[in-house]
Structure 1
């Protein structure tokens, strides 16, 4: 009976060591993932705080059933943005746009133009431009 108790105690001890080792590994991995996520969140918040843009002008082309809208904007923040990652909304609808500049990077204090083609409707319209960081500016124009 003494030998059987020793074997059971040894099995429990080995099981406890294995469970403890696995628990430590899992907790360490979880802690590393949480730390990485926190650092990434801080970086995203910093980019958002340093991002700003201003719509300088919105000009609609000649109306012949449809028109083209040219929007002139300035990157007034301190963050370099990707000009091809902007979202342009006209009266709340997401629209495709084109730009003639060859560089897709948009550095601070640089003014750029984009063109939205084949728009319809007359009257006053609202344009919204949203950066990759979620920062937006609004403007209005009349057709």
Structure 2
């Protein structure tokens, strides 16, 4: 699967970022009972954090790109934790998507699709997952989107 994901990333014109180090007192991944629980991942593009509020200066398309960037960071964290062996990923179980939103913005599910569609593109049917997508008034460091995940190992 690792080679398949690498090929798919190349086909999509995407690359994995360097797995980000924690910015506070937590670890990126906890393994329990064959499941990986990933801490919330922030969106980085070319090493820069994507910031701002959806519905207040950040477009839906930019929000989707930020969610996709969070998804790429999730895969980067998985790759690092699994010592490069993404074939151990059996299923993307759930994504929790937090969208920095203006009070009138209600398209959080559309923003979350940026990450959801990436997971399906990379992992196929094993990338189909349960999901929540919620609007919040602020995220750490002013990030536009933050996403956590639960992943089943095979």
Fold similarity call, TM over 0.5: no
Larger RCO (alpha carbons 8 Å, 6+ apart): 2
- TM-score where L is the length of structure 1: 0.32
